[in-house]
Amino acid sequence: MGESSFYDSMMRKGAAGGTRGAGAGAWDAGIGTGPAKAPSRKRGPGPKGPSDKVLGNRRARVVFNRAALEAAELGIADGLYELGLDLIADASLGPKGGPQFGPGSLRDPETAEERGVAMMLDTGWVKVWVNGVNVSIDAPTEAKPRDLALPYGQVVMVAAFASRLAHLQELGTVKMNAHPFLTPAFNRALPNTAEYVVPAMGKRIAAAPEESSTMTGLKAALAAELARQR
Amino acid sequence: MTTLSPVAAAVAELRAAAGVSTITTRIRAVEPAPGDALGAGSWVPFVVLSQLDAPYQAPTATSSVTIGMRCYAASYPDAEELYLACAAVFHRAGPRIAASRLGIYNSLALGGGTLDKDPDTAQPYAYGVINLNVSIQTIPT
């Protein structure tokens, strides 16, 4: 007879229990729920099974607080965007001792207008993606770099220079030594990431609705982190 | 460059690597040597390493050195092959001591392999960035 007879017998057991009604299935019956075969419960944790408390938790409804996660992600994005802007501003000062960079150099609006092309150091841009979606406040027109992956669950910030000469200045050519300006700015900015991200997260989460204990916990954790930074 | 120069150590490692030396022995620091950068039809493979940044990590007495690597060749596939051979020398190579007694705790090929051509000679090349976490003092024997 095989499976069908086993299933039928289990269904009969479930009907005898009578707690789940017509929808009761084999597993409900098999684990013995219902007044007819109530499981024996112990008062405390023991070697043979979990306590009442654990069984109670098992039945608790878990609410996924998406608002809290979105607020945290957008806060990270805000902080990284500000970090990127400062990084670009720092890099735009050019390399130390560079031949054609910095105040008083060729970088001026008049020369740019004559050439009809923006000066290289004026072409910096910043863009931030959350879960693959561009959330930059004033989204620049520059497209996503070809090789850049934007995986779900990650916040990605790109700070770059749109000029086609930028990588030649940064790395050099056969007739010109490297004049790195972006790598040093990046290395200077990187250690300060938390100073940008944590306050921005705090603002977003403070503005989010108090829906659950998760949000309260996040706010408390951020307040503690801010206090520690001060 | 001083004897503890990370770029000099990287150049020495590339010259000693079999995968690279079979393609070229022209491994340079900062700029090409005379005879490297030639016009179209005379292109020869060579590599130029230049230091982009080297901030000190004071608590650990190390320096995180970022090095730009440009690998020139006669064609784009050859340039890419040379770049991959060079990147393999550094990527997750582990702790070691250079001949100059510079301690290299770890090294990574951070990214790149981007193909381009030189604006002056039009020679194809692939460029990328490597990172060396090095000591700031000589490692005693």
Q: pLDDT at position B18, please?
A: 92
Q: Which of B1, B48, B52 best tests the A interface by mutation, with the highest count of A CBs <10 A?
A: B52
CB contacts, 8 Å: A167 with chain B: 114, 116, 127
CB contacts, 8 Å: A173 with chain B: 118-120
Q: Which of A171, A179, A186 best tests the B interface by mutation, with the highest count of B CBs <10 A?
A: A171
On whether any CB of chain B is under 8 Å from the CB of A184, the answer is yes
Q: pLDDT at position A98, please?
A: 53
Q: If interface means Cβ-Cβ distance under 8 Å, which residues of chain B face chain A? A: 30-32, 36-37, 48, 50-53, 55, 64, 66, 68, 70, 72, 114, 116, 118-121, 123, 127, 129
CB contacts, 8 Å: B30 with chain A: 177-178
- Point out the residue among B50, B72, B119 whose CB comes nearest to the CB of A168: B119
Contact assignment for A183 to B66 by CB distance below 8 Å:
yes
Contacts of B59 (CB under 8 A, 6+ apart): none
Contact assignment for B50 to A177 by CB distance below 8 Å:
yes
Q: pLDDT at position A6, please?
A: 45
The rounded distance, in Å, linking the Cα atoms of A78 and A196 is: 8
Q: pLDDT at position A21, please?
A: 38
Q: pLDDT at position A49, please?
A: 62
Q: pLDDT at position A138, please?
A: 67
- Do the Cβ atoms of B132 and B107 come closer than 8 Å? yes
- Point out the residue among A171, A174, A184 whose CB comes nearest to the CB of B37: A174
Q: pLDDT at position A123, please?
A: 84
Q: pLDDT at position B58, please?
A: 79
The rounded distance, in Å, linking the Cα atoms of B7 and A227 is: 42
Ranges of residues in chain A whose predicted pLDDT is under 70: 1-64, 96-109, 112, 137-141, 209-219, 230
Q: What is the ipTM of this complex?
A: 0.88
Check the CA dihedral A13-A18-A20-A24 and report its sign. Answer: positive
CB contacts, 8 Å: A174 with chain B: 31-32, 36-37, 48, 72, 118, 120-121, 123
- Do the Cβ atoms of A211 and A67 come closer than 8 Å? yes
Name the architecture of domain B6-33+43-138: 2-Layer Sandwich (3.30)
- The beta-carbon contacts of B51-58 under 8 Å, at least 24 apart in sequence, are B51/A178, B51/B6, B51/B7, B52/A170, B52/A171, B52/A178, B52/A180, B52/A183, B52/A184, B52/B129, B53/A180, B53/A183, B53/A184, B53/A187, B54/B6, B55/A184, B55/A187, B55/A188, B56/B136
The amino acid that residue A225 corresponds to is E
Ranges of residues in chain B whose predicted pLDDT is under 70: 1-3
CB contacts, 8 Å: A187 with chain B: 53, 55, 64, 66
On whether any CB of chain B is under 8 Å from the CB of A124, the answer is no
Q: Tell me the pLDDT tens digit for each residue of A75-120.
A: 999 999 999 999 998 888 777 655 555 544 555 667 767 777 777 8
Q: pLDDT at position B85, please?
A: 94
Contact assignment for A174 to B52 by CB distance below 8 Å:
no
Q: For residue A72, give the nearest of A191, A193, A206 by alpha carbon.
A: A206
Q: pLDDT at position A110, please?
A: 72
CB contacts, 8 Å: B53 with chain A: 180, 183-184, 187
The amino acid that residue A189 corresponds to is A
Between A and B, how many CB-CB pairs are < 8 A?
57
